[in-house]
Structures are given as structure tokens and as C-alpha cells.
Chain A
Amino acid sequence: MVTQKINIYQVAYKNLLRKKTRSLLTILGIGLSAWVLVSLLGFNQGYEAALNKDIDNMGFQVLVTAKGCPYEAATLMLKGGTGLRYMKESVISDILKHKEVEGITPQLMAAVFDPNRGESGGINAYLGVDPATFPAMKSYLKFKQGGWFTDPNAVEAVVGYEAAELEQREVGDKLLIPEKNVELKVVGVLTRSGTADDGTIFVPLRTVQKIFEKEGLITAAGIKVNKNANMTELENKLYDLPDVQVVSMAQVKTTIMSLVTTAKVMVFSIALIAILIAMLGVINTILMSVFERFQEIGIIKSMGAMPWDVFRMIWTETVILCLLGGGLGIGFSFGLSKITDVLIRRLLPYTPTGSLVIINGSLALLTLGVVVAIGLVSGVYPAWRASRVRPLESIRSEGD
């Protein structure tokens, strides 16, 4: 007599293949929820990393600007380049007196209307920087061509990567400041930094002051703080300066993260609901499969399978569905991470530069683990129902 052991895992796998469409749809449902979950966890990692990078790339920990309503200034700026507020350059020496200050770099933003830009004109902006102090604060800026201007009075420009590509500028080319009709000579073109500097045209501070008749004035000063300095103490001292506002990078990050947290909570809730719905789909699929196979299960049990064997068989089906669905979702998230990035940028009011979604191997494994764990839980009831099938009753009921 030949006996052959039944491999319950093989039976489980083959059973899924018997109902291909149903299995595929269930896998797709799990896959979509897994995609949402991976993308969300990836966003969790990516957003904060990108924001930290943006803030770190500003090169200084505290920014002092001229006092004025920030939103109003932004609106006026967008409407025509006016509305910038200024402070006296002498504030630099006042700030340098504080022992907490390691270095300071003054900046002057200037904007001018360019009638030749776009359909009805546009704003050209120039950032006046001090060649002695600014490059050191922004050491991450590298050059594709040329280098920084060294003469503080030079009529020269260093162009960000995107600005150079748009205007097809290389070292030696000229830029024209409209209205002022001043030619700037391009002496440097930066490599892509992934920050707002890519679209910026840098000009020596003194040159901008002279061209725009703002001698002795600046719009902001970036402060590098000593490593062991007490930031709060420094800020309190800076608040005493007349007509200035003090902005700390740590504050900005806190504010932005608090804005994003609300969005994150909402998306987490949606992801959770999506996963629960997918799991209900799994329970439904497996339960239907169990009901359809009552007689078959009865026969298997009458052939010697124990309830635990049947439980394992049904549970295995659930695990296979979850593994495949989870894998599919992870594949979606890797393959469509750029689209996810674009979608998030459209939804959020502020997004830092750089990748918003960071998906790596450990995140993928974590998601797969979560999906399989939820699947194991979902599969308990159908597997228990199947294990409780009474062989004689099930065979008799099919025959009736």
C-alpha cells in the first residue's frame, strides 16, 4: 500500500490558485494599503530629514531681519517687489559684541521689475552678500564653474544652478539688471544644491547697495552661534535691538513640524482605515473559501487531519495573500515614490526641497511585518471556523 502525506502548505497555495481572480483582487487591495502605509512612513522620515537639511543649509542658526509684518511684506513682494523692510548696517557691529556670536553675514535683498520676463513682466531678485563672510556660512555651495567674487565692490554675479540653466549663463557672460541698466559679469555658476540658492543671483553687498541706492542698509543678517552658547539668552539680547525681528531656526522647524503633524495624523488615520478595509477583504475572501470547501475540509479531516492542521492550512492561505499583497505594495511604493512626492507637494502648504519620501529596506521590512501581522490576526477567525468543521456533518450537508 502506498501512502502519501498531504502537504497542507501545498494545498493552501493551490487553493488560492483555484480562485485566481478573487485572490488577485484581494492581493491588490492589500497591496494598495501597504503602498499607502510605506509611503506614509517614508514621508515621516523624509519630511523631517528634508526640513532639517533645508534649515541646516541656511548656514546659520539665527536670522535677524528688519521689523515689519512678514506676511504683508510677502504679499507686497509678490505684487511688485516693493515692501522690503531695511535695517541699518550698524546693527552688525552691535550684534558682534555678544560673546555668543561666532560669526555674522549681512544680506540685502533687492528686487526689480523686468518687463521682458514672461508675458506681462516679472520680478528679478538679487541677493547682496558679503564675500568675506557669506561663503564660509554656506560652505556646502560648490561651483560648477568659476568661484565667488572677492572684491566687495565688483559688478559681478554668482548664479545659482537653475538660474544659470534658465538664462544659459556661463562664466564670462553678462546679466542685465533692468530699470537700472547695469551689466553684471558672471564669475561663478553653482552646482545644484537642492535649495532655494539654485534660483538665486548673488551679487556683492556693496554693489547691490550702490545700484539700488540702499547704502548703509541691509534686509537681514545671518548669525552663526558659538557651539556652547545659550541660544535663548542670545535671542533675548537681540530682541533689545531697535526695529529688528529675531528668528531662530529651531523655532521655524517647530512651527513647520506642528503644521505638518496635523496632516500626518489625518493621513495616518486614512492609512489605518485603508488597512482595516483591506483586512476585512482578506477575512471575507478566506471565509468564503472556507464555506465553499466545507465538504473538502470534512474529507481532509476524515482522512486524519487534526483541527490544528486545518487551522494551519487556512492560516497559511492568509499569510500567502498578505505576503504577496505586502510585496506588491512595497513594489508600488519604490516604483511610484516620485509620484507620491509630487502628490504630497501639491497637498501641503509648505514643503522643503529635497526628497519628501525616503523608503529604504528596513522600512519595507517593517511594513511587510505589519501587513503580515495584521493578516495573521485577520486569519484567526476563518481558520478557527475551518478547524471546527465536523467531517460527517459537512459531507452529509453537501450531499443534501
Chain B
Amino acid sequence: MVINTPFSKSNAGVLITILLISCLLVLPLLAAVGCDLNDPDRDVKRLFPESTGYKTIYVSVAQKGGEAMLRRIEERLGDKFQGLYETADVPYTMYQIFKGRDLIGYIHGVNQKGTYGGIQVFLAVDLEGLIRGFYFQKLTSQFGKQLRDEAFGRQFTGLNLRDFFNYDVASGTVKGEGKLTAIKNPAPQAEADFRAALRATKKNLILIDEFLLGNKYLQ
């Protein structure tokens, strides 16, 4: 094969551009791995309007308690940890929220497998572990509008980990009565994503309890 091509900036520029586009399409994917707030300054203020600042801490199961802790979390969840976002060395980003010098609450997000892609569920909780804010930072669904509606998130306000004790993540059912039975799925066709949201919430509360609340809700 003889290569004797006259130099042509514009043609080469096309391919450089294609390569650049390819890289740019990849970059957002890479940057989105993990579960940090997209815009912490804005999101913290939205979830805690009275806050004056926040501190970010990074923890992992491997760091804090290793395999034993992982087994305990799985037992509390009622399900095994699976996949890329549920290994012992996954770093969890936890936001401590302050008003002046006083700690007033926490924000934490978790990844969860959804019907059409990864879901990210963020909770804002007070110092007792009561939910004061719930929202989907990432959700791909045909019924995303209904699930992302504030009315859906408001159903979680005031709940704590104790309210999830009788929720079986594997079957998606609540044993007996409890506050969880009041949570309605706004899109029955998106049952899998609704259950994923509940699993993510329970997992989130367990991790907050383990890392921040000193196992206050340990059964």
C-alpha cells in the first residue's frame, strides 16, 4: 500500500473532530460515575434552605468495617450487594450540613439499577435520621415525569429507617402495617422503578445509619 497523500488540514480536521466528539460523548459518561450532587452549592441550599455551609466526607465499607460490615448491611437490607456500585470499596460521598457551627443534617445519594439505566436517589435527613427531602438526581424512565414529581418525593418526608424494617426489597412488599404502605406509585406501569426507588431509599438510610448515626436504628 502506497501512502503519499497530500496534506489536507480540513479533511484531517473532520476526523479530529469526530475523534473529539467521540471523546466528548464518552467524557460525560465517565464524569457521571459515582454519586455526588451535581451542584452541591445549589442542591444543599435547596434541601436545607436554613443552612450556611456544608462539609463533604468520603467513606467506604472497606475502610470502616470491611467484609463484616458489608454482611451486616446486606442483612439489614435483606438483599445482596451487587454490581459496580455495591462493592465494599465503593466510596460514598456524605454531606454534613451546617447552620453556623451547628450540624443540622445530612445529604447522601446512592446508585440503584433501574429499568432503563442507573438511578440516583438522594435523601436529606435530620440528625435523627428522619427524611426531610427525597429526589431522583438520575432516572431514565418513560414515566420519569410522574416519578420525579415533588408530590412523589413528599411521601417520604418524616420517614426513618424504622419504617422500612418491614419492607422486603426482594419481593417489594410490606409485611403488616406501617407508614410505608401509604406511599403510592404514581406510575403503576413503572413498578420496577418504583421498587428500585424504595430499595435505594432503604439502602441509603442504612448507610447513613452505619456511617453517620452510629447504628441508632440497628434492630
Contact = CB atoms under 8 A, between A and B. Distances in A.
Interface string A154-182: 00000000110111110000111010010
Interface stretch (A137-145, A205-213, A243-251, A266-274): A243-251
B87 to A, nearest CB: 12
A84 B62 CA distance: 46
Contacts of A117: 138, 140
Given A115-B144, A350-B20, A251 B11 contact: yes
A63 B21 CA distance: 15
A65 B14 contact: yes
Contact of B29 (A77, A163, A353): A163
A123 B8 CA distance: 31
A117 B139 CA distance: 7
Interface in B6-64: 6-30, 32-33, 38-39
A196 interface: yes
Contacts of B139: 116
B113 A168 contact: yes
B117 A168 contact: yes
B189 interface: no
A63 B5 contact: no
Contact of A73 (B9, B17, B28): B17
A249 B15 contact: yes
Given A117-B138, A166-B29, A78 B24 contact: yes
A168 B85 contact: yes
B109 to A, nearest CB: 14
Interface in A247-293: 247-252, 254-256
A199 interface: yes
B142 interface: yes
A114 B85 contact: no
Interface string A66-97: 00001101100110000000000000000000
B3 interface: yes
Interface of B: 1-30, 32-33, 38-39, 83-85, 111, 113-118, 138-142, 144, 148
A4 interface: no
Nearest to B114: A168
Main secondary structure of the interface of A (DSSP, over half): mixed
A-B pairs, 5 with minimum CB distance: A199-B26, A196-B22, A167-B117, A176-B116, A255-B12
Interface stretch (A229-237, A335-343, A368-376): A229-237
B140 A176 contact: yes
Chain A interface extent, by class: 35 or more
Given A70-B16, A166-B118, A252-B16, 15 more contacts: A63-B15, A65-B18, A70-B13, A116-B139, A116-B141, A118-B28, A169-B117, A199-B30, A200-B26, A230-B4, A232-B2, A232-B3, A245-B10, A245-B14, A252-B15
Given A74-B17, A168-B113, A230-B1, A181 B142 contact: yes
B1 A119 contact: no
A176 B26 contact: no
A227 B118 CA distance: 45
A263 B54 CA distance: 41
A232 B5 contact: yes
Contacts of A115: 144
Given A70-B14, A174-B115, A196-B23, A168 B2 contact: no
17 contacts: A63-B18, A70-B13, A74-B20, A116-B138, A118-B28, A123-B25, A162-B29, A162-B33, A176-B115, A196-B22, A200-B26, A231-B3, A232-B3, A247-B12, A248-B5, A252-B16, A350-B16
A73 B10 CA distance: 13
A214 B208 CA distance: 49
Nearest to A68: B14
B17 A70 contact: yes
Given A168-B117, A176-B140, A231-B2, A252 B17 contact: no
A54 interface: yes
A246 B13 CA distance: 11
A123 B32 CA distance: 13
Contacts of B18: 63, 65, 70, 220, 247
Nearest to A253: B12
A391 B72 CA distance: 80
A122 interface: yes
Nearest to A251: B12
Contacts of A247: 11-12, 14-15, 18
B1 A231 contact: yes
A125 B116 CA distance: 15
A130 interface: no
A235 B5 contact: yes
A250 B21 contact: no
A365 B211 CA distance: 49
Given A167-B118, A231-B1, A232-B4, A255 B16 contact: yes
A198 interface: yes
Nearest to A349: B20
